[in-house]
Amino acid sequence: MMKFKPNQTRTYDGEGFKRRAACLCFKTEKEDEVLLVSSSRHPDQWIVPGGGMEPEEEPCGAAVREVYEEAGVRGKLGRLLGIFEHNQDRKHRTYVYTLIVTETLEDWEDSVNIGRKRKWFKVDEAIKVLQSHKPVHAEYLRRLTNTCNPTCGPLCTPTNGNSPSSQVMDNNAPHYVVCSTQGSDLVNR
């Protein structure tokens, strides 16, 4: 299902959840420093870059596109951390990936158009910063240590910064992992 709004198309899955994708962008494979961006609605607050999927777009492609638009970075897309469901105020289902940053643009779409900023945070500090404004985003980082290594699950290999193609690296991996933001454990489906 799709809903059209000015300048964007929102896509929903069969259960009525808005389809979203995001990346935890790291400086190195140590995954100890994460890049956050300023919120478009609350410029003094920080969020994980991500947004809605376009029609026919794969989750990994949407994640790469959103990070490029919102944070002005490109990199090596890693593992799928999970699919996070947020049910409280809006029904969102967000595919969250890891990404190791390999290129940082000086000016990017959201910095020019809306004055968005970006900043590196130690993971513990990022959790604290996100907890007050976007607790679901803090949950992404909390789940970081509970996920499998980068060789399992779906991976995405971008051919350039904007046109990814997806590849499943391990046919024995679960189709996806659902991480409810209401405190339940990881569930394989």
In 3D space, the residue among 3, 63, 60, 71 whose CA is nearest the CA of residue 37 turns out to be 71
Q: Under 8 Å CB-to-CB from 68, ≥6 apart: which residues?
A: 74, 108, 109, 161, 162
Q: Is residue 13 part of a domain?
A: no
Mind listing the pLDDT tens digit for each residue in 28-67? 999 999 999 999 999 999 999 999 999 989 999 999 999 9
**Overall average pLDDT of the 76-98 stretch:** 89
Which pLDDT value is given to residue 14? 82
Q: Is residue 95 part of a domain?
A: yes
Q: Is residue 28 part of a domain?
A: yes
Catalytic residue among 66, 69, 103, 109: 69
Task: Give yes or no: 125 in active site.
Answer: no
Q: Is residue 74 part of a domain?
A: yes
Q: Is residue 93 part of a domain?
A: yes
Q: What is the CATH number of the domain that holds 117?
A: 3.90.79.10
Share of the chain above pLDDT 90, in %: 58
Q: Is residue 67 part of a domain?
A: yes
Q: Is residue 173 part of a domain?
A: no
Q: How many CB atoms within 10 Å of residue 173?
A: 17
Domains: count for the chain: 1
